[in-house]
Structure 1
Amino acid sequence: MQSQLHFPQFFSDDPANAMAYTETGAGDILLLVHGSLCDYRYWRWQFAALGQRHRVIAPSLRGYWPAALQTREPSFNVAQHTDDLIGFIRRQLGGQRLHLLGHSRGAHVALEASLKAPDLIRSLVLADPGFRIEPNSATHNFLPEVARQLETGEVDAALACFIDTVNGAGTWRHMVSWFKNMVRDNAYTLVSQAREIDLVFDPSQAARLKCPVLLLGGENSPPRYGQVIDALMQHIPQAERDTIPLAAHGMNLANPKAFNERVLRFTAAAAAQY
């Protein structure tokens, strides 16, 4: 199933991973990295606004729509997506230094890429980073049940469980049709995600970041995201922190005006200093 959103679609020329992406605008590159169950269409309300000042590029990570996984894939993990993203920047974008923005699980990928290839990053925005900071955290304990439901064909029940857990009770019921179609396209990625082994991040490693950093949270996001931001703030002395009002985890969709304005203000300041 495909949603009825239409963006120009391109594919990278990497024979090992022809990553689908879309782009708009001109100027310094701003690369957007989606999170779980999403793809480049997630940034629907960012393209026009951010594209007024940036060349905005949004890829779909390996395993997501339009080549979404339908069965378990053992190689599906943050490390693979990190390497894919770095390869995309070096190969497809000519290794240009850029502004990088990641949301949720995509924030984990963006953070790892920034640490692994700091020469490529002008600034970093992490929106509700979606990873554990303690090995014994119960943050992702609901994923095995979600995977079980998917494997028994209970797709909407699984998606409702996931979306309501990460964003707040009742969210799935009120989601608009294009969003539901997008996550249905990517539903079976959760079967692989439930078995990921590299979701824990040691926040002290973030001290190696030298670029400007903005940590964004949704005013109504579940507390665990704020706890991750708290931990990162302790180790990134140059980091700014802000809250998007009237929004939970999907802050760029719930309050795109505030989200876009805050990102543009940050990237403009970052470009002036770094």
Structure 2
Amino acid sequence: MVSRVVSYRVNGRDIACLSGGDGVPLVLVHGSLCDYRYWHWQMPGLARYFHLLAPSLRHYYPDAWDGLSGDFTTQQHVDDLLALLEQLGEPVHLLGHSRGGNLCLRVALAAPERLRSLSLADPGGDFAAEVFRAAGLEVPVAPVERNRFREQALQLIRQGETEAGLELFVDTVSGAGVWRRSSKHFREMASANAMTLVGQVADHPEPLSLSALRGLHLPVLLLSGELSPEPFPRIVSALSAVLPDVRVSIIKGASHGMNATRPAAFNRALLEFLDAV
């Protein structure tokens, strides 16, 4: 399978996408500190069945953002994804990881008619307290408090201690020691996107509500790493309780970066779901 980087004009900007394969579109959306290269492990296996399109969100690599403009927001990224999907000309399967999972969920809520299915791998982001209460779960720590580590990581990066800042961020999200065990490919990608934490720290999107989630009538797959730290398992449990049409797949032996560390199991779970919808 030969993949290539293509460009789409989206809301006045050129958005770089890794593309490969033919057939029904499967759009893959990365999370924090990542870009289209995050889906390197999915391209060979999945492009045999779908037209894969993995965009780099606004201000991520190959952009070299200085953190100064004010257009790095959840809503801007959602609007960009909606505009990209419109150009594809047919409904797509949509997959998002971590922050990208939250973005994809918001895309699905805004325009369900543009999707065939929705797959969310350890979705992050903000959810209203009522979502967890409806599932009988303890409400996590408030987002502002929970995300203090982002500010601490960014402070280290601004001080020139980029690796220390990235290590703090990645180990908080994925588990202690994950940064040091990460591949060179991943560490280089995260370093290239370090300044996007400026946008994340400043971004405070409206939490997703219980009524909105209960009104989403699309087939949804929730992929969860067996070893993923909180709040991801709790978010997956809450969403599995409140979404109308949902399946859950646990990737054994994997933490948050499940598609990279267990690509065969991840791809197999995704393909089984897509084959059934």
TM-score normalised by the chain length of structure 1: 0.92
- TM-aligned CA deviation for residue 237 of structure 1: 2.4
Matched, 1:212 2:202: no
Aligned to 2:37: 41
C-alpha offsets along residues 196-246 of structure 1, whole Å, 9 cap, x if unaligned?
111633344211211100111000000310111121122112101110011
SS at match of 1:12: strand
Aligned-pair Cα RMSD in Å: 1.5
Q: Is the 8 A contact 1:27 1:54 kept in 2?
A: yes
Matched, 1:77 2:84: no
Q: Give the 5 Å matches for 1:119-134.
A: 119-134=113-128
Aligned to 1:23: 19
Matched, 1:102 2:96: yes
Distance 1:129 1:247 in 2: 15
Aligned to 1:172: 179
Aligned to 2:271: 264
Q: Is the 8 A contact 1:78 1:199 kept in 2?
A: no
Which letter does structure 2 place at the counterpart of 1:209? L
Identity %: 40
Which letter does structure 2 place at the counterpart of 1:166? V
Aligned CA distance change for structure 1 residues 109 and 176 (closer, same or farther; 3 Å): same
Q: Is the 8 A contact 1:25 1:52 kept in 2?
A: yes
Range 225-234 or range 102-111, more displaced = 225-234
Distance 1:82 1:209 in 2: 16
* Aligned partner of 2:58 among 62, 78, 82: 62
Aligned to 1:198: 205
Matched, 1:115 2:122: no
- TM-aligned CA deviation for residue 133 of structure 1: 2.3
SS at match of 2:13: coil
Which letter does structure 2 place at the counterpart of 1:29? P
Aligned to 1:157: 164
SS at match of 1:70: coil
SS at match of 1:234: helix
- TM-aligned CA deviation for residue 134 of structure 1: 4.6
TM-score normalised by the chain length of structure 2: 0.91
Q: Is the 8 A contact 1:204 1:235 kept in 2?
A: no
Aligned CA distance change for structure 1 residues 68 and 206 (closer, same or farther; 3 Å): farther
Distance 2:72 2:247 in 1: 31
Q: Is the 8 A contact 2:10 2:80 kept in 1?
A: no
- TM-aligned CA deviation for residue 13 of structure 1: 2.8
* Aligned partner of 2:255 among 245, 248, 254: 248
Distance 1:163 1:9 in 2: 27
- TM-aligned CA deviation for residue 29 of structure 1: 0.9
Distance 2:73 2:9 in 1: 22
Structure 2 gaps, min length 5: 130-141
Range 109-118 or range 136-145, more displaced = 136-145
Which letter does structure 1 place at the counterpart of 2:256? H
Q: Is the 8 A contact 2:3 2:43 kept in 1?
A: no
Q: Is the 8 A contact 1:150 1:191 kept in 2?
A: no
Q: Is the 8 A contact 1:71 1:188 kept in 2?
A: yes
Aligned CA distance change for structure 1 residues 199 and 44 (closer, same or farther; 3 Å): farther
Aligned CA distance change for structure 1 residues 174 and 115 (closer, same or farther; 3 Å): same
Which letter does structure 2 place at the counterpart of 1:163? V
Structure 1 gaps, min length 5: 1-5
